[in-house]
Amino acid sequence: MSTLKSKLSRDQQRTICSQLGSVKLNLLYKATVHGFTGAAFHQRCDNRSPTVSVGYNASGYVFGGYTSQSFSQSGHYVSDSRAFLFSFTGGKLKKYPVISAHHAVRMIGNSGPYFGDSLVLVDGSKPVTYSKTGAQYNFNAAEMHGNDLNLTECEVYQMEGELSHLSYLMFLYRNKKKLIESIQSYKPTVSSVSQARVLLIGQVGAGKSSFFNSINSVFKGHVTWQAFSGCSSTSLTTQFRTYSLKAGREGKPLPIILCDTMGLEDSKGAGIDIEDISSILKGHMPDRYQFNPAAPLHDDAHGYRKSPGIKDKIHCVAYVIDACKVSIMPTKLEEKLEAIHRKANLLGIPQLVLLTKVDEACPSVKRDLRNIYWSGYIKEIMLEVSAKVGVPLSCIVPVKNYSEELELDLNCDILLLSAVIQMLRFVDNYFDELSDQLSSVELKN
């Protein structure tokens, strides 16, 4: 911190920093010290970025905005997709992301921090706030500042320690490389198993096949489609498929197999049968088995494994759930998920949730996928999923599958690879529990 005394509490400083990464706050401008004028603000804050500007009023409200762009006196609007306004309410930070990124910040000489045409601190070199919700930012004025537009203080902080764009990309590349190496080097703790088997279960259109295609794309190095996927009211997957991933075009198989199934449907006699899922979990079902919603797999079917080994069984279940449809999930579908959850629990199979289409569910995440890490709306959806499916919040992993993209995106890759890492951790839990059971049997004998 600078020698100027900050009016922000330590908790408020920590809360703001948590939104922006590994940063600290350096106080550049304090209106009660340097003056409530645009000239004083620009003298100390121009060409400094990124910054957080904070206003205080006599009613006790603390509010302001963040921009990654440098202030100037050009008179022009500046684009910033990462900009947001905020307010502290009851000790919690309320964010208002930018709507029109091209007009996120305006550079005006006789005023303080100027966020679009929505919020100005030290307006016209006066200790007042200009406030108007609209095209650039949408907020509740009473919630933000209690409609008290008289400022008692205005502070501007520079973020120090934040990664530059190039440094951030390098950070992502290194992180992606580490995640890929961790997946490639993974070895199941049971010697008879060379590849972990993860079963993908989800409603029609939730993105099961797309998830495999997306993971496959990350390892191929370009967007590719191997499993059938798309938009349909009925399942495009009609067979039980086991997909082995490869490291590159002609690389070695990875130590994980993703098992794809027919989609779940809420109506009776449609979609995959619960008994078929039970057969998959136990390792009886052969690859490319053609599902029959009217009749589950029988032990006299071609390829039926009567005595499956550990390598044939499912070691982790991943429920694939569309973030946009959680609130309208049919009751019958919830019941099916509950039934599957019970069967998997009885077999000691760990379970997690892949929450897909997070970008379609939350506008701020659509604008910038990194917002997934602090989106309050996505957190609410995750809580709802936890209640409906019966898994802890820590077992829900948000991801974005590739759908319309032609090129890979680093932020998307990190989410996808992190999901695979989580699956492998759950697989380890399965094998650890299995080893404990075997040790207990040996001790009894």
List pLDDT tens digits, range 173-197: 788 899 999 999 999 989 899 999 9
Q: Using one digit for the tens of pLDDT, what is the confidence trace for 37-52?
A: 999 999 999 988 889 9
Specify the pairing of strand 77-78 against strand 24-30: unpaired
Provide the pLDDT for residue 369.
Answer: 86
Ranges in the chain annotated CATH 3.40.50.300: 182-444
Nearest to 128 by CA among 104, 155, 106, 152: 152
Provide the pLDDT for residue 2.
Answer: 46
Provide the pLDDT for residue 171.
Answer: 66
Those residues of the chain that have pLDDT short of 50 are 1-2, 230-234
Provide the pLDDT for residue 443.
Answer: 53
pTM of the model: 0.63
- Structurally, at CATH architecture level, domain 182-444 sits in 3-Layer(aba) Sandwich (3.40)
Provide the pLDDT for residue 444.
Answer: 60
Q: Dihedral, CA atoms, 423, 424, 427, 431, nearest 10 degrees?
A: -170
